[in-house]
Structures are given as structure tokens and as C-alpha cells.
Amino acid sequence: MTAKVDAFFTRVEQRHGDDMQCATGCSDCCHARLTVTGIEAAAIRAELATWDAARRAALAANAVAAPADHCAALDPEGRCMIYAARPVVCRSHGAPIRLQAGSLPVMPSCGKNFLRVTPDADCILDQGTLSTLVLAVDKLEGGDGTRIELSSLLGIE
């Protein structure tokens, strides 16, 4: 599933890259405490299992020092320390997302993106569909839909 979300984001960048500011070090979307599904947690645990003890300790220390309103995996330079295993929500940040606000669809994206053009219709991610798919994959893998605090997953209480 992450490959499909990554491919979607790549398509958006290919078509609208001139109107997107997403790049290494931009972390506006990361100023939130995150939760992940069981399947996402398993992917993060698998990634961390490949790291040496020093790298895992650096991640834990970073998470402890992170501001309360920032992602526990965001380093001081604004980079994701678990980028290879980042959750689905992180993979979609920056792209326009169709949300339902009351009876009207709303299509927000990062406030730095899409200031000059309207994105193509197939470059808008439907949040309801994405959330349903993430939950379905989690359940297929034995999860129950319970969300896990990323900071807890990284060993931070």
C-alpha cells in the first residue's frame, strides 16, 4: 500500500512539481503528534530492527527532546528519522487531499503548495478512501484498528 501512495505522490510531483515546495527539511506537516496502525507499527519496528544500537539510541534521545507538538521522529533539522518506514499519512502530506467538511468536500494541501495552479483531478487524494484502505490492510494483517502513539513505539512513554 505504501508503494501505491508513494506512486501517487510521485505523479503529483511530476505534474505539479513547480507548484510544490515539499523537500528535505520542510517539516510543516510534521508539527503534530502521530498515531499509527498496527501494520504501520510493524513496518517501523522492522526498520528499527535493522539499525545498530547507537542509531536506535539517537532516535530515542531525539524523540525525548522533541517538542510536544512535533512528531517524535522529526530531527532538529526538520528531517524524518524513520523516513524509509514513515506512515501512510506522512507519505501523502503536501498533496491535495479531499476531505468531507459537513456536506461539502474540501481540498486542502500544504499552504505552501498549489498557490498558482489547481491540481489535476487525479492528483487529489481522497482521505476517506485512504483511511478505509489503511484500516482494511491493518485488519487483513490481524490488527483491530487500534492506533499506537508513535512516541510510544519509539520507546518513549
**Per-residue pLDDT tens for 69-128?**
999 999 999 999 999 999 998 898 888 888 776 665 666 777 888 888 888 888 888 888
- How far apart (Å, rounded) are the C-alpha atoms in residues 89 and 102? 22
pLDDT digits (tens, 9 = 90+) for 43-57: 999 999 999 999 999
| Helix (H) / strand (E) containing 37 | none
pLDDT (tens digit per residue) in 1-19: 788 888 998 999 999 889 8
Separation between Cα atoms, residue 121 and residue 48, nearest integer Å = 37
Q: Which amino acid belongs to residue 19?
A: D
Domain ranges of the chain: 2-153
Cell numbers linked to 151: 512516541
For residues 155 and 60, is the Cβ–Cβ distance under 8 A? yes
